[in-house]
Structure 1
Amino acid sequence: MSDRLKALADAGVSIWLDDLSRERIESGNLADLVKEKSVVGVTTNPTIFAGAIADGERYDDQVKRLVASGASVEKVIFELTTDDVRNACDILKPVADGSSSDGRVSIEVEPDLANDTDGTIASAEALWKAVDRSNALIKIPATKEGLPAITHAIAHGISVNVTLIFSLERYREVMDAYLTGLEQAREAGTDLSTIQSVASFFVSRVDTEVDRRLDELGTDEAAALKGKAAIANARVAYGAFQEVHAGKRWQSLADAGAVVQRPLWASTGVKNPDYPDTLYVSELVVAGTVNTMPEKTLEAFADHGEVTGDQVTGRAEEGQAVLDRLADVGVDFEDVLLSIEQEGVEKFKKSWVELVETVRGQMEKAQA
């Protein structure tokens, strides 16, 4: 087992892999990562599935059977992806059995529904029923329309990975949506300990957009702030997490058996090659959080990552000071967050189009 990844896990950070394929499942690779690399969870998205389906032959027979049965492209996607997530859940089940919150595998609602509350609810319910594993998580975007869908899902016992969170304001709304769902579930007599959730706070995309604006300003003061906004934003968000979970509302739910909706640091692959490739892992170490990493980042940390203690707790004010300095040099951070949320939703939808086109191509091959 990687000593560096074990050190990260020992520091209380749950290591989740941001990738899944049938090749990983059937070859034993995923099981090996669990055993050797401290991986205790998996996240997926349509782009990940598109790559897996396009590059591998392990889907071909199932695609042929589905095409022969007259399945639509949407039906084929649903069957392929839910099968993979179900099988990954089974591999992670021993982890889930030994943990109150790890051993989870996420699958995303149809991204075209990001601004459709009722559609998101229907998609979440269909995925939850099809995967049929208690250690699954249904990914719902933190759009305005997604918030009531999160509450509905939690209230009905569906575990949720809330994705595409960029701003402190939206994160607070996500936490409120989770607590409201738990309160409704408690009223319905549901065992709250069976409901899981993580809140995926995106990291690297913040620096990408802020750094672009800092470069446009071209001042020494602006240059000194490059690569600092994303971590600062995450630290401020963690301060809000602590504040909410120190309150009476949460304590009442915790007393009833509720599980904490853990912060999950997402988009932790470094986009700027000038930055350390483990930046968004080593600088966001704090117990009780999740870091979901693409394999490249996972391997980088296994090779040379460093754990130097808690880098987040008690640093919200420091993070806010960085954000205040951005305003001082001329960066409108609220506009940054609005911009990258809109971009995130568009990428979210585009990834679905990519998956549809990939699967349609595989279906055409199957008919040839």
Structure 2
Amino acid sequence: MSESTRALSRAGVSIWLDDLSRSRLDSGELRALIASHDVVGVTTNPTIFAGAIGSGVGYGERISACAGPGLDVASTIVELTTADVADACDVFAEVYAESGGRDGRVSIEVEPGLARDTAGTVAQARELWAKVDRPNAMIKIPATVEGLEAITETIAAGISVNVTLIFSLERYRQVINAYLTGLERARAAGHDLSGIHSVASFFVSRVDSEIDARLTAVGTAEALALKGQAGVANARLAYEVFEQAFDTERARLLLDLGANAQRPLWASTGVKDPSLRDTLYVEELVAPQTVNTMPEATLNAFADHGEVRGETVTSEYLESNQLLNAIDALGIDYGEVTEKLELEGLQKFDASWAELCGTVERALAD
């Protein structure tokens, strides 16, 4: 057992692995991470599945089974990915039960091409939820403008949701509102609110990558001194939004009826700048009721030499605001940055989906 990951868990941070593959499941590696690294959940996305299925390891017979009845590419992808997610849910069934549904979660994302399609997103969210058929699954929905109503409708149907690709504080406020509205509709429809869970995935390192490039372009000593800090500052202010939003009369009414707070999830926590500490986005975002979903390299680094210095978020609100204001004063527009990051995030998932479709299409033809 890693002392670092155990300390992080004790500080109120749920550790989820940002990866899944058939080889992890069949080898028992995923189950082993529960004991060795305190991993209590998994997140997936089109890029992860493109890499897993593209490797060819563990999927040959399953693809052949889909080719027999003549399933098309899209249907085959659904079969492969939902099977992986269902089996991972089973691995985490005990964690799910012991945490009262809080953890033991495995997320699967709607097709990237539906990001601007509210009705299509809701329809596929229902399809994936039924196909996985596990109470500890979560359906990932991107936090686009069109995704907000899809989040509300999916929550209203009693389906747990992982809201992904959140970059800005304003969009995060809209996501929380979409969740609360969904809970209100779920209550009116007679659903048990205690069984509906949600996380809001706030991206971290990509904010630094974009803003640091702009600070480098400014080039002054003042600008360069601000590099490597915006991502953490932005996430810390998101936690302030979380605290404020779930301390309102509206939220407290729902919580009193058994609803769960929508926990902040720190995503994109792998450091992209080699000059930064490889555990930066874990150590600087320690706060209760949060999730940190880590790629394997980050998880292993934190397990090896990560440090938990207590809660590292709520005492930094003023400094975080000051930092973002200083960046704005240099002419770097926060809204422009976050809009660009959302668009790029969708484009990357579209590219991964196209790669995945090509891989499966070739495999079906063999």
TM-score by structure 2 length?
0.98
In structure 1, C-alpha distance between the alignment counterparts of 2:223 and 2:289, rounded to whole Å: 33
Task: State the partner residue of 1:328.
Answer: 329
In structure 2, C-alpha distance between the alignment counterparts of 1:143 and 1:59, rounded to whole Å: 32
Task: State the partner residue of 2:134.
Answer: 133
Deviation, structure 1 residue 299 = 0.3
Task: State the partner residue of 1:267.
Answer: 268
Deviation, structure 1 residue 65 = 1.4
Deviation, structure 1 residue 218 = 0.6
Matches within 5 A, 1:1-368: 1-100=1-100, 101-364=102-365, 367=366
Task: Report the secondary structure of 2:314's partner residue.
Answer: coil
In structure 1, C-alpha distance between the alignment counterparts of 2:125 and 2:317, rounded to whole Å: 34
In structure 2, C-alpha distance between the alignment counterparts of 1:176 and 1:316, rounded to whole Å: 22
Task: Report the secondary structure of 1:315's partner residue.
Answer: helix
In structure 2, C-alpha distance between the alignment counterparts of 1:84 and 1:188, rounded to whole Å: 31
Q: Is the 8 A contact 1:237 1:316 kept in 2?
A: no
Q: Is the 8 A contact 2:116 2:147 kept in 1?
A: yes
Q: Is the 8 A contact 1:231 1:283 kept in 2?
A: yes
Task: Report the secondary structure of 2:228's partner residue.
Answer: coil
Q: Is the 8 A contact 1:236 1:317 kept in 2?
A: no
Deviation, structure 1 residue 79 = 0.2
Deviation, structure 1 residue 307 = 0.4
Identity %: 59
Task: Report the secondary structure of 2:40's partner residue.
Answer: strand
Deviation, structure 1 residue 314 = 3.6
Structure 1 unmatched runs, 5+? none
Task: Report the secondary structure of 2:351's partner residue.
Answer: helix
Deviation, structure 1 residue 74 = 0.5
Q: Which runs of 4+ in 1 moved over 4 A?
A: none
Deviation, structure 1 residue 353 = 1.0
Structure 2: which amino acid aligns with 1:60? G
Deviation, structure 1 residue 180 = 0.1
In structure 1, C-alpha distance between the alignment counterparts of 2:56 and 2:112, rounded to whole Å: 23
The alignment of Structure 1 onto Structure 2 pairs a total of residues equal to 365
Structure 1: which amino acid aligns with 2:124? S
Structure 1: which amino acid aligns with 2:147? G
Structure 2: which amino acid aligns with 1:84? D
In structure 2, C-alpha distance between the alignment counterparts of 1:361 and 1:309, rounded to whole Å: 50
In structure 2, C-alpha distance between the alignment counterparts of 1:80 and 1:171, rounded to whole Å: 32
Q: Is the 8 A contact 1:239 1:314 kept in 2?
A: no
The one-character-per-residue Cα deviations of 1:103-136 (angstroms, maximum 9, x if unpaired) are 0000000110000001101110100000000000
In structure 1, C-alpha distance between the alignment counterparts of 2:295 and 2:277, rounded to whole Å: 15
Structure 2: which amino acid aligns with 1:27? S
Structure 2: which amino acid aligns with 1:37? H
TM-score by structure 1 length?
0.98
Deviation, structure 1 residue 56 = 3.7
Task: Report the secondary structure of 1:259's partner residue.
Answer: coil
In structure 2, C-alpha distance between the alignment counterparts of 1:222 and 1:45, rounded to whole Å: 34
Deviation, structure 1 residue 51 = 1.2
Q: Is the 8 A contact 2:54 2:356 kept in 1?
A: no
Of stretches 348-357 and 65-74 in structure 1, the one that deviates more from structure 2 is 348-357
Deviation, structure 1 residue 57 = 3.0
In structure 1, C-alpha distance between the alignment counterparts of 2:238 and 2:318, rounded to whole Å: 11
In structure 2, C-alpha distance between the alignment counterparts of 1:331 and 1:260, rounded to whole Å: 33
The one-character-per-residue Cα deviations of 1:176-217 (angstroms, maximum 9, x if unpaired) are 000000000111111000001000000000000000000101
Of stretches 302-311 and 57-66 in structure 1, the one that deviates more from structure 2 is 57-66
Deviation, structure 1 residue 283 = 0.4
Deviation, structure 1 residue 351 = 1.8
Task: Report the secondary structure of 1:145's partner residue.
Answer: helix
Deviation, structure 1 residue 68 = 1.5
Task: Report the secondary structure of 2:82's partner residue.
Answer: helix
Task: Report the secondary structure of 1:122's partner residue.
Answer: helix
Structure 2 unmatched runs, 5+? none
Structure 1: which amino acid aligns with 2:362? G
In structure 2, C-alpha distance between the alignment counterparts of 1:308 and 1:129, rounded to whole Å: 42
Deviation, structure 1 residue 47 = 1.2
Deviation, structure 1 residue 317 = 2.3
**What is the Cα-based RMSD across aligned positions, in Å?**
0.8
Q: Is the 8 A contact 1:327 1:333 kept in 2?
A: yes
In structure 1, C-alpha distance between the alignment counterparts of 2:324 and 2:220, rounded to whole Å: 17
In structure 1, C-alpha distance between the alignment counterparts of 2:233 and 2:24, rounded to whole Å: 35
In structure 2, C-alpha distance between the alignment counterparts of 1:108 and 1:122, rounded to whole Å: 13
